[in-house]
Chain A
C-alpha cells in the first residue's frame, strides 16, 4: 500500500486552502449565526472551479480525478469553511450535478452541467420523504407518464439546497407496485408549475445550508427530463452514495484539522495554574485523540476515491465503513475540542462550537450509522 499524493495534488490543495481562507472563511461565522445561505461564496467556489472539478473541461469542469476532488473537499474544511457551505457544495456537485453527468443524456449534460459547474445554477437532490428515509424503496412520490410528459405528486423532506436550488434531481416511483425497481430519477427546474419548496428548516448545525421540504402537486415536466431509463433510479441513488461517503465526508475531516489547529493555539496560549493548559496531561490526551481521529478517518475517505479512480464501481463496503467511522467516531473528538476551550468553547465566537453542532450531522445525513451497519453486516 502506498499513500502519497502527487506534487500537483498537494499544490492544488494549498491553493484551495489559500483561496478559501481569504475569500470565504471570513464570511462563514456570520452566515452560520443568521442561518443564511451565502450566495456570494457559493458563486466564488464556482469561479474557482471547485463546483465542477471532476467534470470534463468541455462542460465547464477541470477533468480532475476523484482523489483530487476529495482533496479539494478536505482543503475547504481545513481552511475553516463551515459545514453548511461544504454540505451545500456536496449536495449540489455530487448528489445533483454528478447524477445528471453520470446517467443523463448528452442533451441533459450540455444543458445543466456548465451552469451547475460554474455556480450560476444551484442544484439539489430529493430522495428522502417525510415518511421514507432509510427505507429508500418505500418512497411514495409518484411520476405518471402522460404522453410526452410526466406528472409528479408527492413530498420530499430534509432537502439540502431545497429552497435555493434552480435544478433538482428528484427520485419518484414510476412502477406502481415495484419496490427498488420502480424508482426513477427526474430533473425538475425551479419555477415549474406545481413545484414548490417549504420553509427553511431551523437546524442544530450546518445552518448556512438551507434545508426544506419540496412539494409536488400535479407538477408536469417534459418526458425528456427523465434521467436514464425508467426504473434505474435506485442504482443512481446508490452510486451517489459513494460520493456522499468520500467527497462529502472529506470536509468533516479537513474541518477537524482546522479545529485541531484552533485547539493547539488555545492550549498554548491559555494559562491556568501558572502554565499553558497544553502542559497538562489531560489536555494533551484530548489533542492526541483529535489527531488520532483525523489520521484514522483520512485513509478511509481516500480509499473510496482511489477505488473510484481505478474504475471500480459501487464500493459499498468501503463507503459504509468510512461513513460509519467518520459519523460515530467524530463526536468524541468534536466534544473534546469544546471541552478543551472551556466556557469559550460553548460560545459562537470560538469556532469549535460550530464544528460541534455541524459534526452532529455526520452520523445522520446521507445514510445513518445504523444503515451503514446494516450494509456492512450484509456484506460480511
Chain B
C-alpha cells in the first residue's frame, strides 16, 4: 500500500505542468478553428516529454499513466481528449493488435507526435454487444472497398489517419484510412455543448479503397471492441479528475477573493460547505480512479468492475463538482471563459461517451451477478 506519488512521478508531473502552462490555462476562450493547430503544436512537445509512450504498447492502464493524464486533463481538458483519442485509442489499436509491419509504419510518427489519429467506432443505433456494424468491407483486388457512416468521430476533421471499425467476414476489422482519400468524406464539424475545442465530425465512406496491409483483423468476437471501449472509458475517467480539479481551484480562489457583506464569501457556510463537498468528491473520485488503474496494472480479478465503478463515479462527480463551482462563481461563472462554466458543459460528455453511465451500471450489475 502506498498513497503517495513516487518521487520520479512527481517530477514528471511538474515537468508536464511546466510544458503546458505557457500554452495557457483551460479558461481562455479560444476560437475553435484554432484547435487543430494547437493539438499539432502540442504533440511533439508531449512526445519529447515522454507522455505519448506511457501505456501505449501494452495497452494497459496504470497509476503512472493516470498520474500523468490528470495533469494534462486539468490544464487543458480539450487538448487532453484530442491527444488521448489519437494516442491511446488509435495508437493502442495499432500497438496491441497491429502486425509488425503496421507497427513499423504507424507507431514511430505517432510516438514522435507527427501524426494525429482517430477511431471511427460508433454508429447510429448500434450496441457493441448485439448489433453488428453497418459499415462493411468488401474484398476487392489487393484490398477492400469500405462503405458506411460513423456518427461522431473525435479528431475526425483533424486526423491524418483514421481506424474505421467495420464488418468483414463475420467479424470485426479495422480499416486504416488516410485523410484525404478517395471515397472518404469527413463532414462538417459538429457544434457541441462542451469540449468545443475537440474536433468531432461524422465520417462517411463510399467504396473507399483500403489495401490489405492497412487492415487489422478480422476478429471473430467482440473482445477487441470491448477493449477499445475500455480505453475510451479510462480517458473519460481521467478527464473527470481534470475538470473537477480545475473547477475546484477556480471556485475556491474566487470564494477567498470575492467579498459580500463585508467578508469573503468563503466565510459563509453555504459557500464553504459546498467547497468541502466538492473536495470530498474529488478526493474520493481520485482514489477510486487510481485504485481502478492499479488493478488494471496488476491484473486484479475485479479490474473490470472497478474500471466501470470509476467511470460512473468520477464522471458523475465531475458534473456535481463543476455545477457547484459555477453556483459559487454566481454571475461571474455565467459569463463564458472560466473553468467552472466550461467544466460544467464538458462534464456531460463524460457520462455519455464511452460506456454511458447506464451501460456501465448494467455491466457492473452483470459482472456481480455472473454465475448466480
**Is A370 interfacial (CB 8 A cutoff)?**
yes
Binds B, one of A20-28, A163-171, A181-189, A299-307: A299-307
B291 — which chain A residues lie within 8 A by C-beta? Answer: 1, 3, 295, 298-299
Question: Would B361 and A4 count as touching, CB distance under 8 A?
Answer: no
Task: Say what secondary structure dominates the interface of chain B.
Answer: helix
Question: Would A1 and B63 count as touching, CB distance under 8 A?
Answer: yes
Interface code A296-323, partner B: CB below 8 Å = 1, 0 otherwise? Answer: 1111101100110000000000001100
Interface size on A, residues (CB 8 A): 44
Question: Would A264 and B372 count as touching, CB distance under 8 A?
Answer: yes
A300 — which chain B residues lie within 8 A by C-beta? Answer: 283-284, 287
A319 CB to nearest B CB, Å: 12
A336 CB to nearest B CB, Å: 12
Question: Would B288 and A296 count as touching, CB distance under 8 A?
Answer: yes
Interface code B56-72, partner A: CB below 8 Å = 1, 0 otherwise? Answer: 00000001000100000
Residues of A within 8 A of B (CB): 1-5, 67, 260, 264-265, 267-268, 278, 281, 283-285, 287-289, 291-292, 295-300, 302-303, 306-307, 320-321, 324-325, 329, 370, 372-377, 380
Question: Would B290 and A1 count as touching, CB distance under 8 A?
Answer: yes
A321 — which chain B residues lie within 8 A by C-beta? Answer: 279-280, 283-284
Q: Which of A285, A306, A325 contacts B365 (CB 8 A)?
A: A285
Question: Would A376 and B276 count as touching, CB distance under 8 A?
Answer: yes
**Is B272 interfacial (CB 8 A cutoff)?**
yes
A281–B276 Cα distance when bound, in Å, is 33
Minimal Cβ-Cβ distance residue in B for A4: B1
Given A377-B273, A377-B276: A288 and B312 within 8 A (CB)? Answer: yes
B1 — which chain A residues lie within 8 A by C-beta? Answer: 2-5, 67, 302, 306
Q: Which of B5, B306, B312, B369 contacts A287 (CB 8 A)?
A: B369
B275 CB to nearest A CB, Å: 6
**Is B4 interfacial (CB 8 A cutoff)?**
yes
A377 — which chain B residues lie within 8 A by C-beta? Answer: 266, 272-273, 275-276
- Tell me which residues from 222 to 262 in chain B have a Cβ below 8 Å from any Cβ of chain A: 252
Question: Would A268 and B288 count as touching, CB distance under 8 A?
Answer: no
A303–B287 Cα distance when bound, in Å, is 9
Residues of B within 8 A of A (CB): 1-5, 63, 67, 252, 266, 269, 272-273, 275-277, 279-280, 283-285, 287-288, 290-291, 294-295, 298, 305-306, 308-310, 312-313, 358, 360-362, 364-366, 368-369, 372
How many A-B pairs fall under 8 Å by CB?
Answer: 137
B310 — which chain A residues lie within 8 A by C-beta? Answer: 295
Question: Would A372 and B276 count as touching, CB distance under 8 A?
Answer: yes
5 additional contacts (CB under 8 A) given A2-B63, A292-B313? A1-B291, A3-B295, A284-B365, A302-B1, A377-B273
Interface centre among B269, B358, B364 (most CB of A within 10 A): B364
21 contacts between A and B (CB under 8 A): A1-B5, A2-B294, A3-B1, A264-B369, A278-B369, A284-B365, A284-B369, A287-B365, A287-B368, A287-B369, A288-B309, A295-B309, A296-B284, A303-B287, A320-B276, A324-B277, A324-B280, A329-B284, A370-B273, A377-B273, A380-B279
Question: Would A2 and B2 count as touching, CB distance under 8 A?
Answer: yes
A102–B3 Cα distance when bound, in Å, is 25
B282 CB to nearest A CB, Å: 9
Question: Would B287 and A288 count as touching, CB distance under 8 A?
Answer: no
